[in-house]
Amino acid sequence: PNLTPSNLEELWEIWISDPRIPTRASRHAWAASRNISPVRVDGWFRARKARAKKVGQPISNETYQL
């Protein structure tokens, strides 16, 4: 399933509170708990990281648990 507007809102809140990439396992657990494809969530975070890099925003390579 695709990301719904409420899923996107939640992802943005997560990103704004901590602009790092969560661990793969925690992203997939988050997706599974919301019946979303983990590939979509991975892609969303990958796009945020790419956008941040493009505008010169430093992104830590450290991961964390959602």
Using an 8 Å Cβ cutoff, are 52 and 18 in contact?
A: no
Task: Answer whether residue 1 shows pLDDT above 80.
Answer: no
Q: What's the pLDDT tens digit per position in 46-61?
A: 999 999 989 998 888 8
Task: Answer whether residue 41 shows pLDDT above 90.
Answer: yes
Alpha-helical regions (H) of the chain? 5-17, 24-33, 38-54
